[in-house]
Amino acid sequence: MTQLLKGNMLIAQSGGPTMVINRSLVGAIQEAKRYKEIQGIYGSLHGIKGVLDENMIDLRKESKANLEAVAVTPSSALGSVRKKPAEEECLKIFGIMLKYNIRYFFYIGGNDSAETTHIINEHARKINYACRCFHIPKTIDNDLLENDHTPGFGSAAKFVACAVMGGDLDNRALLGVKIDVVMGRHAGFLTAAAALARVNPDDGPHLIYLPERPFSMKQYVEDVKRVYNKLGRCGVVVSEGISDAEGSAIATKFTTETDSHGNVQLSGTGALGDLLANEIKTQTKIARVRADTFGYLQRSFPGLVSEVDAREARAVGELAVRWAVGKDSDGSVVIRRKPGKKYAVFFERVPLKAVAKATRHMPDAFINKAGNDVTPTFLEYVRPIVGPLPKAAQFKRVRMPVVG
């Protein structure tokens, strides 16, 4: 066996936070402590930005108790960043890695982070600098290639299912149209998970619109009217990224008209929900129409977690370190599902470029023909990732006979 690579380790977090991203981080840190080859364990603050600014912390100075407390805390404890380093920045990052004798680099994030890790890895090869680079998957969007699903998704999906369940109970009591806007720019997995809120045949959500299918305002109004006329209420869930047949996002198209500053973003605004609500108010005679935009709550809500997601998030962090050090390899950890009725996964290493750049979408088998709902196949896929949900009960409602 060859001598293992000795030196310091650097770890960072990138992109949108999740409820379980710190479990991956702490999993990696704790695993790293098992190898004498790993000397310093450094954390870069705010992703790759902390490397460029040489703004790093000593993770060996954190007590085990505090590490475990951080592990169960939502959002990125090292801070995050939305930044893809340019070519020259990659060279600069490289210089800093040399200076600090970084021999192990771990980046927790989505496909952009995988790409950054890939670029750094390629640079290392080019100049013959021995350095193991691993990407650790994370995204509530569930849109990474190669993965059956991604850490962070299950817990966010649990939040969405709970929130939609509660919204439907609320709408059952006060009767109207309830619209919920869920995160997801290009992939509809998280929005689709709202379907888990259904227990009884008339439970919402009654309509689900995803970015994978063109959104027609006319069809939407027709759909809502049909459900409302049948049930006396209607629950709608849409992805923030729903787009028209030409591919332009509904949110962007309409919000530019009202926002004079051009600062259009999909998340952190209630504009799409308000737009969809107004459309129902003007095109139908339905009086009570309400919209909620789940916003940042769905990715950072403390105390709400899918147990499966939490376990897998920890595992991918641990495995990245184990494979980088013990197997002297580079790559990304991916989650695969074993075939069969009972839920079981296994983890594999894939080359960094296999998960970089591109994103995965909802497969056709997960979306109904009308493009306004999910299929039972999707529910089978998503249920074990999210785990058990709170139970919601209804009265049998045995009517009193009308007297006299």
Residue 59 found at the interface with its own copies (CB under 8 A):
yes
Residue at 267: amino acid letter: S
Q: Which is nearer to its own copies, 273 or 331 (CB)?
A: 273
CA dist 246 → 25, 33, 70, 243 (Å)? 40, 52, 44, 8
3-class secondary structure, 140: coil
Site string for its own copies, 270-309 (x = CB under 8 A): xx-xx--xx--xx------xxxxxxxxx-xxxxxx-----
CA dist 373 → 5, 13, 307, 362 (Å)? 51, 34, 26, 12
> Does 141 participate in catalysis according to the annotation?
yes
Residue 324 found at the interface with its own copies (CB under 8 A):
no
CB of residue 175 to its own copies, shortest distance in Å: 8
Q: Which is nearer to its own copies, 61 or 342 (CB)?
A: 61
CB of residue 378 to its own copies, shortest distance in Å: 22
Q: Which is nearer to its own copies, 247 or 303 (CB)?
A: 303
Residue 139 found at the interface with its own copies (CB under 8 A):
no
Site string for its own copies, 6-45 (x = CB under 8 A): -------x--xx----------------------x-xx-x
* Phi, psi for 167 (deg, rounded to 5): -65, -35
Closest CA to 137 of 350, 373, 386, 400: 350
Helical pair 21-32 and 64-71, crossing angle rounded to 10 deg: 150
Stretch that binds its own copies, among 246-254, 255-263, 321-329, 358-366 (CB under 8 A): 255-263
Residue from 4, 5, 39, 73 that binds its own copies (CB under 8 A)? 73
Residue 56 found at the interface with its own copies (CB under 8 A):
yes
Q: E strands, 224-358, where? A: 234-239, 289-293, 331-337, 345-350
Q: To which H or E segment does residue 135 belong?
A: strand 132-137
DSSP bridge partners of 337: 345
Residue 77 found at the interface with its own copies (CB under 8 A):
yes
- What is the total count of residues that contact its own copies (CB under 8 A)? 90
> Which residues are part of the catalytic machinery?
141
